[in-house]
Chains A and B, each alone.
Chain A
Amino acid sequence: MAGHKTIYIDYSRCIGCETCEAVCRFTHGLPRVNMTRAKDGVMMPLYCRHCETPYCVRACPRGALLKGREGEVLLEPALCEGCETKNCLLACPYGGIFMTMMTEAMVKCDLCLSRRAVGLGPACVEMCPCGAMFYADPDEIAELHTDFAQAAEKRVLAHIRPKVK
């Protein structure tokens, strides 16, 4: 599965404008990338990284999360009951799976499956005004992940996974 393209957000370039979330909401009804504001004002769009070895896929008790043909992590809503365990939500290190209370199933990014099927890229990436979002392969992502981007991501991850005191 290595070498597949996924979404990458350079948090150091993100200004928290919520365009990604808005475009995703318009395209899919319920947004799969969610802008969140931490208590200290850090703005962070939370999204699925489509990990090569995803914890969420392993954690789902119903097998509703599956690895797709292009390496993406897909949720089959018919299998997902938004179950009592919420194991996927807990397992994801990036806060990329969402419980919405509007649908039974959980909500997550599928890298705009139907758009990709007709040759388009993920909608959020197309519309990001800051040039903070990329649809890139692992080599390209390694290059994009500069020291600056890493430092910004560290600030974000500190909120998603706070240190247990």
Chain B
Amino acid sequence: MNFAFLRDAPPRSNGRSVAVIGAGPSGLAATGFLAGLGYKVRVFDKLPKAGGLMVFGIPAERIPEQSIAAGVKRLEQDFGVEFKLRTKICGSDAMHEDTGDHFSSDLTSLGELTRDHDAVIICTGSWRPRKMNIPGEDLPGVYSGLEFLFPIRAAGYDSQKLKAVDVTDKTVLVIGAGFSAVDVALAAQAHGAAQVKMLYRRTRHEAPCGIHDVCTMEDAGCEMAELVTPVRVLGTDRVTGVEVVQCQLGEPDASGRRCSLPDSCAKAEMDADIVVAAIGEIAAPPFAEELGLDKVRKNEVHWLHMTKLPGVFVAGDALTGPSKIGKAVYSGLKAAKSLAAWLSLKAEDREDEYSDDEVITPQDWHSGPLETPAAKGSE
């Protein structure tokens, strides 16, 4: 991934410096753009390696580690980008609340960054596990998709702090049918689980991962239970199973897919040693409230380059909620461009000409009127 794709060699320095918080797809895309304009860029990340979820969430079979590493090396060696890894930029929140905080040994405050740089971009992504909001979900043996996938990749960096979940000869239930649910199921199967079963409230035809991935998963030996939704995680000191209710399909909802209607009378219990709720993560940017980011939700489509704090910008999942690498890249590039425009105007005392509220419509994200609702794969 050649993040500095706009140039073949770095230009002369323009004397300005930018701090990028988060070295995921949006942060690195922003870094590449700004470094290509002659900015001095410092990238901060809580993890021991740059790449974010492309390195620590998505399995290496899907994204080769080398692809990201080569792009990062080019930024570092040719474009003079400084990477400050294992460093978490803190807000008012406590540490170790998000997946992947384990590695941070150094804390820096946002105030420090804004003082030391001409501008800051927050590209912290979405790392906070989303809750199922059902009883028993805090029992040991229940994980979020990222809590399960992250240690598989991260254990290679520090096996003292992190171990992959031991699934050997265990029954694993995976809740959800997105791409990360498929990744969890395949990883569990590959690591020697006795049985892997995916639970989805709709059928395979509505599954966000697509029927092809469902088939791939089944070919690998996993099972899929359709039209069931969990209502309770069973167990006293550790998970022993999940209580599910049968669902049926109703009318199409806002996403164009038929909704799932639970039938509370038809309950059943499923045994499990490990439950993974791969139902997505949520964004938890530092200083969310102060920056006006506290209301950012999944699929909320709006565009905000600069936060309430002058010179502090935001991009990627931190802004839009969980999405796709491509959207994060685009968001990072747009925010970086906007940041550069703001700094240039500021240098001439023309800040009031800066417009920071370009509205993004669903048409901008997708390919416009040609695309049918069925073709929109954003879950």
Contact = CB atoms under 8 A, between A and B. Distances in A.
Q: By CB atoms of chain A within 10 A, which of B326, B367, B376 has the most?
A: B326
A100 B369 CA distance: 7
A101 to B, nearest CB: 5
Interface residues of A, number: 38
B108 interface: no
B355 interface: no
Contact of B62 (A22, A31, A35, A130): A130
Interface in B360-379: 367-371, 374-377
Contacts of B67: 128-131
B330 A22 contact: yes
B297 interface: no
B1 A128 contact: yes
B37 interface: no
A17 B62 CA distance: 10
B207 interface: yes
B176 to A, nearest CB: 14
B370 A99 contact: yes
Contact of B212 (A26, A40, A123, A126): A40
Nearest to B32: A127
A20 interface: yes
Contacts of A126: 1-2, 5
B329 A23 contact: yes
Contact of A17 (B326, B371, B376): B326
A119 to B, nearest CB: 6
Interface in B320-349: 324-327, 329-330, 333-334
B327 A15 contact: no
A130 B2 contact: no
Contacts of B172: none
B34 to A, nearest CB: 14
Contact of B376 (A34, A37, A41, A130): A37
Q: By CB atoms of chain A within 10 A, which of B1, B179, B369, B376 has the most?
A: B1
A59 interface: no
Contacts of B213: 41
Contacts of A43: 210, 377
B63 A37 contact: no
A33 to B, nearest CB: 10
Contacts of A155: 212
Interface in A97-131: 98-102, 118-120, 123, 126-131
Given A23-B5, A40-B210, A131-B64, A101 B325 contact: no
B375 A41 contact: no
Contacts of A123: 5-6
A41 B330 contact: no
Q: By CB atoms of chain B within 10 A, which of A41, A120, A131 has the most?
A: A41
A40 B29 CA distance: 31
A18 interface: yes
Contacts of A83: none
A57 to B, nearest CB: 22
Interface in B35-71: 54, 58, 62-64, 66-68
Of all A-B residue pairs in the complex, the 4 with the closest CB atoms, nearest first, are: A41-B210, A18-B326, A37-B377, A22-B330
22 contacts: A16-B324, A16-B377, A18-B326, A19-B25, A21-B326, A21-B367, A22-B326, A23-B5, A23-B326, A23-B333, A36-B371, A37-B376, A41-B213, A41-B214, A42-B212, A43-B210, A99-B370, A101-B370, A120-B7, A123-B5, A129-B63, A130-B67
